[in-house]
Amino acid sequence: MSQRSKRLPRAVREQQMIDAAIQVFSERGYHSAIVTEIAERAGVSKPMVYLYLGSKEDLFLACVRSCARELTAALQEYARPELTPEQRLWQGLTAFFTFVADYPERWNVLYQQAAKHGSTIAAGVAEARDQILLDVTRLVRDDPATGQQTPPDRTRMSDKEAEFVARALVGAADSLTDWMRSYPDEGPEQVTRRLMTMVWVGMGNAHAGQIWSPPG
CB of 168 to a second copy, least distance (A): 4
Query: H-helix or E-strand containing 108?
Result: none
Residue from 2, 55, 148, 210 that binds a second copy (CB under 8 A)? 210
138 is an interface residue for a second copy by CB under 8 A: no
Q: Which is nearer to a second copy, 53 or 121 (CB)?
A: 121
Q: Which is nearer to a second copy, 44 or 93 (CB)?
A: 93
CA–CA separation, 124 and 109 (whole Å): 12
Residue from 15, 46, 76, 168 that binds a second copy (CB under 8 A)? 168
Q: How far is CA 13 from CA 19, 43, 148, in A?
A: 10, 10, 43
DSSP helix/strand/coil, 216: coil
DSSP helix/strand/coil, 8: coil
Judged by CB under 8 A, how many residues of this single chain contact a second copy? 47
- Of the candidates 62, 59, 61, 69, the one whose C-alpha atom is nearest the C-alpha of residue 131 is 69
- Of the candidates 73, 87, 108, 95, the one whose C-alpha atom is nearest the C-alpha of residue 189 is 95
Residue from 51, 120, 179, 181 that binds a second copy (CB under 8 A)? 179
Contact by Cβ (8 Å): 133, 167: yes
Q: Which residues, numbered 74-113, are part of the site for a second copy (CB under 8 A)?
A: 84, 86-87, 90
Q: Which is nearer to a second copy, 54 or 171 (CB)?
A: 171
Neighbouring-strand partners of residue 149: 142
Residue from 49, 97, 169, 188 that binds a second copy (CB under 8 A)? 169
- Chain residues binding a second copy by CB under 8 A are 84, 86-87, 90, 115-117, 160-161, 163-165, 167-176, 178-179, 182-183, 191, 193-203, 205-206, 210-216
